[in-house]
Chains A and B, each alone.
Chain A
Amino acid sequence: MLRLDCLRSIYSELESCLVITIMGAVAAELQSLGHRPNFFYLQHAMGLASSTGLGLALCLPDQKVIVFDGDGSLLMNLGGLSTMARYRPKNLVHVVFDNESLLSVGGFPTATGTGTDLEGIARAAGVPGVSTVRSVESFTAAVNDAIHGNELTTIIAKVEAKGPSGFVTDLALLENRFQFRRHIQSLKRT
C-alpha cells in the first residue's frame, strides 16, 4: 500500500476537515494532490502534529480535525498519545502512516519494524477507536468512518517505505501558517 494512494482515496473528504500533517513525505505528497487553505504542514517539531490537533480539536469541538502522523513522529511523542486519550475529543481523527522507517533522512528502520505495535500502544493508552489497515480499500473505509463517526480514532496505516524524490515545495512555512489560521477564523464568522 502506498501512502500517496491512501491520501488520494480520501482527498475529497478532507475538504470539510482541518488537516495537520507531519513533515517530509506526508506533507509533500498531500501538497502534490493540491494544497488547500485548510491544510497545515508541520515541517519540523517531530511529534507535535498530534498535540496540535488535540489543541485545535479541544478549542473547536464542532470542527472535524484530522492529523496525518507517522511512526517516527509518533514514537517521539508516545506520551502525547496518552494525553489525547485522556481528553479523547470526539472530533479528532489520528491517522498514522507506518512505513517502519525514518524515510526522509535515509530510511533508517524504526522500532515498528522490529515489533513495536502502535495499534497496541494506542489501545493501551486509552484511545477508544483503534485499527490497523493494510489496503487502500480498508484505509478509505476506516478514515471515512472516523470522519463521520463520533469518537477519537487512531488508524495505523501500514504503507511502503516509498516517497517523493524531494520534500521542499514552493509553499513558504509562514504563508501556510497564516493562511491556515485565517481560514479557521473565516469559518468561525460564517
Chain B
Amino acid sequence: MPVSLASSKVIYEGLKECDVRLVSALPETWLVHLIRMTDEDPEMILVRLAKEEEGVGVSAGAHFAGVKSAMLMQNHGFLASINGIVSFAHLYKIPLLMLISYRGSLGERDPWQTQGGNVTEPVLRALRIPYFFVDAMETAKKRIRQAQTLAESSMQPVALLLTRDLMWEE
C-alpha cells in the first residue's frame, strides 16, 4: 500500500511529543498506519468511532479529564462533524486538534472524494477554524506542535490538513 509509512511515523511521533494520550479515529486509507501505531501503543487510548462527530464529545471528555487528545479523520469525516464542532467545541471553547486527510484535491483518482475536496477549505474558513497544511516530513512535527499549542491557548478547534504529497507515495 503506497500510504507513506515514514510520514505516518513522523506524524505519530509529533503527537507523542505533544503529550497526546487519546486519539479518536475512523478508518481511512491514508490513516491506516497512524491508527495501527496508536492501537499498538500501550500509552495511548484509541477510540474507534462509528461516526466522526462522536470524536468531538470524546475529546471534550478527555479535555475535562486533563488529557490531551487528537482526532484522526478524513475530510468527509470533518464535514460529518460540523454540528458537534459548532455547538460543542465552539460553544464551550473546547480545544480540538483535528488531523484531517485532505482527499479529493490535486492528484485524486477516486471520483467519490472530489466533491469533499472542493468544499473542505471553504467550510473551514466559514467556521473560522484556523487550518494549516502538513505537506512535508521536515516540518510535520513542528506544525503538529504549533497546532496543538494554538488549540490549547485559543480553546478552539484547529485543523491540520494532511496532504497527498505527505501521505501518498506514488
Q: Do A and B bind each other?
A: yes
On A, residues with C-beta under 8 Å from B are 18, 40, 42-45, 47-60, 77, 79-80, 82-83, 86-87, 173-174, 177, 180-181, 184-185, 188
The answer to whether B122 has its CB under 8 Å from any CB of chain A is no
CA distance A52 to B67 in the complex (A): 13
- Across the interface, which residues of A come within 8 angstroms of B45, CB to CB? 58-59
Cβ contact within 8 Å between A55 and B62: yes
Residue B93, interface by CB 8 Å:
yes
Cα A120 to Cα B58 in complex, Å, equals 24
Q: How far is the CB of B154 from chain A (nearest CB, A)?
A: 14
Residues of chain A contacted by B53 (CB below 8 angstroms): 47-48, 77
Centre residue among B47, B54, B57, B83 by max chain A CB count within 10 A: B57
Shortest CB distance A141–B (Å) = 27
State the B residues within 8 Å of A (CB).
21-22, 45, 47-51, 53-67, 69, 83-84, 87-88, 91-94
The 7 closest A-B pairs by CB, nearest first: A55-B61, A51-B57, A79-B50, A48-B57, A59-B65, A56-B61, A55-B58
B residues within 8 A CB of A77? 51, 53-54
Instruction: Give A86 to B45 CA distance when docked, in angstroms.
Output: 13
Residues on B with C-beta less than 8 A from A83 are 47-50, 54
Looking across the interface, which residue of chain A has its beta carbon closest to that of B58? A55
Are B84 and A55 touching (Cβ within 8 A)? no
Contact B54 A51 (CB under 8 A): yes
A97 and B167 alpha carbons, distance in the complex (Å): 45
Q: Which of A51, A60, A177 contacts B92 (CB 8 A)?
A: A177
Chain B residues contacting A173 (CB-CB under 8 Å) are 91-92
Query: Can you report 30 residue pairs joining A to B where beta carbons are below 8 Å apart?
Result: A40-B64, A43-B91, A44-B87, A45-B83, A45-B91, A47-B53, A48-B53, A48-B57, A51-B58, A53-B61, A54-B54, A54-B61, A55-B22, A55-B59, A55-B60, A56-B64, A59-B21, A59-B22, A59-B45, A77-B54, A79-B49, A79-B51, A80-B54, A83-B47, A83-B48, A173-B92, A174-B92, A181-B63, A184-B66, A188-B66
Q: A177 and B93 in contact (CB under 8 A), knowing A48-B54, A48-B88, A51-B57?
A: yes
Bound: A134/B60 CA distance, A: 32
Q: List chain B residues, Cβ under 8 A from A45.
A: 56-57, 83-84, 87-88, 91
Known: A48-B88, A55-B58. A181 touches B64 (CB 8 A): yes
Contact of B61 among A44, A51, A185 (CB under 8 A): A51
Instruction: Write out the residue numbers on chain A whose beta carbons fall within 8 Å of the beta carbon of B67.
Output: 59
- CA distance in complex: A40, B55 (Å): 18
Contact B57 A49 (CB under 8 A): yes
- Which B residues touch A53, using CB under 8 A? 61
Are A52 and B93 touching (Cβ within 8 A)? no
Q: How far is the CB of A150 from chain B (nearest CB, A)?
A: 20
The residue in chain A whose Cβ has the minimal distance to the Cβ of B24 is: A55
Q: Please name all residues of chain B whose beta carbon is closer than 8 Å to the beta carbon of A56 when the two chains form the complex.
A: 61-62, 64-65
Chain A, Cβ-Cβ closest to B60: A52
**For the complex, what is the distance from the CA of A134 to the CA of B69, rounded to whole Å?**
39
CB neighbours of B54 from chain A (8 A):
48, 51, 54, 77, 79-80, 83
